[in-house]
Amino acid sequence: MTFLSFFQLSSSGQQRKPPLAAGAVMGALSLVAIFSLAPPPPATEAQLTQAYLDTNAQALTVPDSVAPAAVVRDTYAATPGINTFVTGGTNYDWAKLVLLSAGWPLSDANVTVFVRWMRQENGPDDWWNRNNPLNNGWGSGGGGGTGSYDNLVIAAQNAAEALVNNAGYSSIAAAFAASGPTEVTEQAIWASPWASGHYANGGHWSYTEVPVVKSPDGTW
């Protein structure tokens, strides 16, 4: 419907006001015009991302004749350190700490010989005696092996130094370095000047399994 004027003529030729309904229609049309000019809402992040992909996406076609390449991944391993053995705190940990300090393999054969050796020196239940499990005179203040160390870490380091640097123990060091059979390393210990009695050439040597015994707090 088209409105020619806001006023209409009555049958008598006089102007009269338009009905209220016509005014309401005009107001509604004005609101429609206002809202039709409002800008659209901004695009969302997802819409912008999709638009970018639609414009810039690339495709790669690989021929069926191309063989997949073999992937080789690097391996890794953990090496125990001083803190590992201090936390364990047993006779077996101390034996491994000596081997580690000397740069020798921490093999089962080497550890077995070492804990047997410690048992011959101080016994399994008091292996930490004077913080000197092997009765080592090197740096302990007791030339005959009667000295002591401040803690078992220092004792392990001194035992390793003695075995590596004293020429009289070279056969022991070589056997541990080679991780030789237990009997080979033990014979090297018996033949060395470490103990004046040479462990009766093995007669005073026990082959029973050495129990795992933890030392008291404060020894490490």
Residue 22 above 60 pLDDT?
no
Distance (Å) of CA 69 to CA 36, 66, 72, 75: 60, 9, 10, 19
For 188, half-sphere exposure in the C-beta direction (CA atoms, 13 angstrom radius) is 23
Residue 157 lies in a domain: yes
Residue 34 lies in a domain: no
**The pLDDT of residue 137:** 93
**The pLDDT of residue 6:** 42
Q: How far apart are CA 96 and CA 119, in angstroms?
A: 15
Number of domains in the chain: 1
Residue 62 above 80 pLDDT?
no
- 183-191-109 Cα angle (round to 5): 25
- Residues spanned by the domain of 167: 82-202
Residue 56 lies in a domain: no
Residue 93 lies in a domain: yes
Q: How far apart are CA 182 and CA 116, in angstroms?
A: 10
Residue 15 lies in a domain: no
Residue 90 lies in a domain: yes
Read off the pLDDT band of 88 (50, 70, 90): very high
Length of the chain: 220
Residue 177 lies in a domain: yes
Is residue 102 within 8 A of residue 115, CB to CB? The reply is: no
**The pLDDT of residue 37:** 57
